Amino acid sequence: MGQAAHLEHYLLLQDHCEVVACSDLDLTRAELVAQRNGIPRAFSNFEQMLSEIDCDGIVASQGFQRHHEWVRDLLPYNKPIFIEKPLAASIPAGEQLLDDIRQAGAQVFIGYHKRSDPASVYAKSLLRTWQDSGEKGTLHHIRVSMPPGDWTQGPYRFRRNIPSQTELSFPEISQPDQIHGETYKRQFLEFVNYYIHQVNLIRFLSGQDYQVTYASRNQRLLIAELEDGSSVCLEMATHSSPIDWQESAECFFDHAWLRLRLPSPMIQLQAGTVETCDLNHQRQDITLSSFPPESAMLCQARNFLNFIRGDYQDNCSVEDAYKDLKVAEQYLAALGVEPGL
């Protein structure tokens, strides 16, 4: 993912940045990546890299299960840091990392790339206009659906050969002291791995925090309530679509609705679309808005560069990322899955 989802997009933005070094525990792999992509230096550990290389920002794309171990090791370098979503793999780990980041006063950009899709940006702006003006009435309901599908959407499989295999054995992942049993841990990780993007997207679109009130026993439906009392439903794995990607978010007002459709995470040269319907007594005016052929991942890379410069503030805060973990906790509680199981 570090190469396919992130590195290649910074390479596409060479008019705006330079990739000056890469690091991997497998030095052979790091050197191969550097050679294939014209990166001047390769290292087997980030400590040596950051002691020898002058850089403006760090893209630290690693599994979120390790965030609490090594993100804090990056904080003393006082550089803007990009990390994957979610913030951490558990509530205790998230609390610890949130505290570390706050104490360091660090700038951390969390990889919720759906926020950077041009369609998502437009949808949020339009929803704020409707909410602030009241012209479409009151927001009543948000429906988000994310059935399993082809998350690579073809082109990812046919990209140039990406060095990925290594014979190295990596250190075991340790977690902060906690009482979570294996069943709880497994279901928590499954939920955040599959649905934390949608958990975050609900807050992004609504501009509000929310509380989970119900979870269906078949684990296909989450119901929540926004701060203003509006209802939210997250539909999970209601069906499977192996040949495409069918993610959507719909927001319903008295006199209008908005439907955001998002493409697969790894697709290239494609943004989402926004469909709106203006409801009145005479007719229904439906408008479809499409956007230039740029992927959310490319836009996210550009946004991180602007974040480094201090020109972008619409990234997910670490506080909101921690709230996403709390939503996962509330979901398991609504399912009746106790931490000690």
Is residue 287 within 8 Å of residue 275, measured between CB atoms? yes
**How far apart (Å, rounded) are the C-alpha atoms in residues 69 and 46?**
14
Residue 152 pLDDT: 81
Pick 108 or 2 by higher pLDDT: 108
Q: SS3 helix, strand, coil % of the chain, rounded to 5?
A: 40, 20, 40
Residue 3 pLDDT: 81
Residue 173: name the closest of 71, 73, 100, 69 by CA: 69
Q: Tokens representing 7?
A: 């590195």
Residue 302 pLDDT: 98
Backbone angles phi, psi at 97, to 5 degrees: -70, -40
Is the pLDDT assigned to residue 170 strictly greater than 70? no
For β-strands 139-146 and 247-253, DSSP reports them as antiparallel
Q: Give the pLDDT confidence of 209-231 residue by residue, as tens digits.
A: 999 999 999 999 999 999 999 99
> Using omega within 30 degrees of 0 as the cis cutoff, is the peptide bond preceding 265 cis?
no
Backbone angles phi, psi at 143, to 5 degrees: -120, 125
Give me the DSSP letters along 108-130. EEEE-GGGGSHHHHHHHHHHHHH
Residue 181 pLDDT: 84
Residue 238: name the closest of 147, 108, 338, 133 by CA: 147
Position 265, amino acid: P
Range 2-113 classified under CATH 3.90.1150.10:
no
**How far apart (Å, rounded) are the C-alpha atoms in residues 258 and 261?**
10
Query: 158: pLDDT confidence band, cut at 50, 70 and 90?
Result: very low
**How far apart (Å, rounded) are the C-alpha atoms in residues 248 and 266?**
16
Domain residue extents for the chain: 2-113, 115-295+318-335
Residue 280 pLDDT: 81
Residue 216 pLDDT: 98
Q: Which helix (H) or strand (E) holds 29?
A: helix 27-37
CATH T-level fold of 115-295+318-335 = Dihydrodipicolinate Reductase; domain 2 (3.30.360)
Q: Lowest-pLDDT range, 154-163, 213-222, 260-269, 302-311?
A: 154-163
Residue 69 pLDDT: 87
Is the pLDDT assigned to residue 159 strictly greater than 60? no
**How far apart (Å, rounded) are the C-alpha atoms in residues 14 and 6?**
13
First to last CA, the chain: 32
8-state DSSP, 169: P
